[in-house]
């Protein structure tokens, strides 16, 4: 199995089998031999051991066992940020002290996702706000993909969790919108059309939860436009049409047009992917 296959399979499995994936990771640090591989391995270790297992010490030990490519600053920095994220997650307030502003941004944004997944929402919001502030104040934005990616992922995850909160405060709603807007901003810098399209979907959902109907419709239209421009597969088109229909539920013609288009797309989605579409399909049929 190649390194890329190992990482792809681990990401695919980790949601349902975090302990099994952690076991694989613990026996495979030697697979990461280049700077880019160490960065990828570090992201996965930090996510699984932090967000899913809260097994701080084991995760830190595994990160510290990765090959030390002292001639590759990006690899050294990735390990430092991953280690600091797990230390910060377990409550070590000094975890950021020795980091560069870039590493602080990555650590805080990643910790935000960790806290959000564990329903520590005040800590998640605070961490993400600090990450945005550190990035804006100290980092030259045009050429910092690790920070952009961390801010994009952190914003998406925080917005998604806050959307599901039944009774949000005004401050939480504002944080949700900022997170969704920031996720879109930074995916445009760090991702492909696919991540940007999905960030528009997330922004539509956040706007709907905030009662911003027109803004939601605009985001959904951009989501669909990106899909159309890039010959997106049926899976992506389903969500684009579905969210545009949902955003226009009070407009019968527009709702029915995009509902029908979403269902037509669903028929072309591979059977093993259709379960991901169940929540939107339920909304379309309510």
Q: Buried b / exposed e across 38-58, counting CB within 10 Å, b at 16+?
A: bbbbbbbbbbbbbbbbebbee
Q: Are residues 199 and 105 in the same domain?
A: yes
Domain boundary among 169, 195, 215: 215
Q: What pLDDT shows up at residue 139?
A: 58
Give CA–CA dist 79/74, Å, rounded. 9
Mean pLDDT over residues 169-182, rounded?
A: 98
Q: Are residues 210 and 222 in the same domain?
A: no
Mean pLDDT over residues 79-101, rounded?
A: 93
| H helix runs in 164-192, sequence order | 170-190
Own/partner pairs for 276-283, CB < 8 Å, 24+ apart?
A: 276/235, 277/235, 277/238, 277/239, 277/242, 280/238, 280/239, 280/242, 280/243, 280/246, 281/242, 283/242, 283/246
CATH number, position 163: 1.25.40
Domain boundary among 215, 231, 256: 215
Encode pLDDT of 265-281 as tens digits: 999 999 999 999 999 99
Q: Give the other-Cβ count within 10 Å of 228's Cβ.
A: 11
Q: Looking at 29-33, 111-115, 209-213, 266-270, which range is the least confident one? A: 29-33
In this model, does residue 63 exceed pLDDT 90? yes
Percent of the chain with pLDDT strictly greater than 70: 97
Mean pLDDT, the chain, whole residue set = 93
Give CA–CA dist 63/78, Å, rounded. 10
- Helix axis angle, 193-209 to 170-190, nearest 10°: 170
Mean pLDDT over residues 36-48, rounded?
A: 93
Q: Are residues 133 and 56 in the same domain?
A: yes
Give CA–CA dist 69/105, Å, rounded. 22
Cα torsion 21, 193, 109, 276: sign = negative
Give CA–CA dist 46/18, Å, rounded. 12
For 271, residues 6+ apart whose C-beta sits below 8 A from its C-beta are none
- For 19, 47, 78, the CA distances from 14, given in Å and listed in that order, are 8, 9, 21
Mean pLDDT over residues 225-246, rounded?
A: 98
Q: What pLDDT shows up at residue 143?
A: 60
- Phi then psi dihedrals of residue 29, to 5 deg: -60, -25
Q: Are residues 96 and 81 in the same domain?
A: yes
Q: Are residues 251 and 211 in the same domain?
A: no
Q: Are residues 142 and 155 in the same domain?
A: yes
Instruction: Work out how many domains the chain is built from and give that number.
Output: 2
Task: Write out the residue range of the structural domain in which residue 46 sits.
Answer: 3-215
Domain boundary among 192, 215, 238: 215
- For 19, 36, 58, 70, 155, the CA distances from 233, given in Å and listed in that order, are 32, 28, 39, 42, 25
Q: What pLDDT shows up at residue 30?
A: 86
Q: Are residues 119 and 178 in the same domain?
A: yes
Q: What pLDDT shows up at residue 145?
A: 79
Q: Are residues 69 and 190 in the same domain?
A: yes
Q: Are residues 161 and 273 in the same domain?
A: no
Q: What pLDDT shows up at residue 93?
A: 84
Encode pLDDT of 127-163 as tens digits: 999 999 998 776 555 566 788 999 999 999 999 999 9
Q: Are residues 103 and 203 in the same domain?
A: yes
Q: Are residues 187 and 231 in the same domain?
A: no
Q: Are residues 114 and 180 in the same domain?
A: yes
- Structure tokens belonging to residue 169: 């405060």
- Helix axis angle, 35-46 to 3-14, nearest 10°: 10
| Residue pair 176/158 in contact by the 8 Å Cβ criterion | yes
Give CA–CA dist 173/176, Å, rounded. 5
Give CA–CA dist 204/173, Å, rounded. 14
């Amino acid at each position: 199995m190649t390194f890329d296959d190992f990482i792809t399979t681990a990401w695919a499995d980790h949601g349902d089998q975090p302990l099994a994936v952690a076991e694989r990771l613990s026996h495979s640090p030697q697979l990461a031999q280049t700077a880019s591989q160490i960065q990828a391995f570090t992201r996965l270790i930090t996510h699984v051991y932090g967000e899913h297992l809260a097994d701080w010490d084991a995760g830190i030990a595994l990160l510290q066992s990765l090959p030390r490519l002292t001639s590759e600053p990006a690899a050294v920095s990735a390990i430092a940020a991953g280690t600091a994220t797990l230390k910060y997650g377990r409550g070590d307030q000094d975890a950021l002290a020795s980091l560069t502003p870039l590493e602080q941004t990555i650590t805080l944004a990643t910790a935000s996702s960790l806290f959000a997944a564990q329903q520590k929402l005040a800590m998640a919001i605070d961490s993400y706000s600090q990450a945005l502030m550190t990035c804006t104040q100290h980092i030259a934005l045009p050429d910092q993909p690790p920070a952009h990616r961390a801010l994009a992922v952190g914003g998406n995850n925080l917005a998604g969790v806050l959307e599901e909160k039944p009774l949000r405060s005004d401050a939480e709603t504002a944080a949700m919108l900022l997170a969704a807007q920031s996720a879109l901003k930074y995916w445009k810098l760090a991702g492909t059309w696919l991540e940007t399209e999905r960030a528009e979907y997330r922004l539509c959902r956040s706007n709907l939860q905030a009662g911003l109907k027109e803004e939601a419709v605009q985001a959904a239209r951009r989501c669909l436009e990106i899909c159309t421009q890039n010959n997106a597969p049926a899976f992506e088109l389903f969500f684009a049409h579905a969210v545009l229909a949902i955003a226009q539920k009070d407009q019968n013609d527009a709702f029915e047009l995009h509902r029908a288009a979403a269902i037509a797309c669903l028929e072309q989605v591979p059977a093993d992917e259709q379960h991901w579409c169940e929540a939107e399909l339920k909304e379309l049929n309510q």
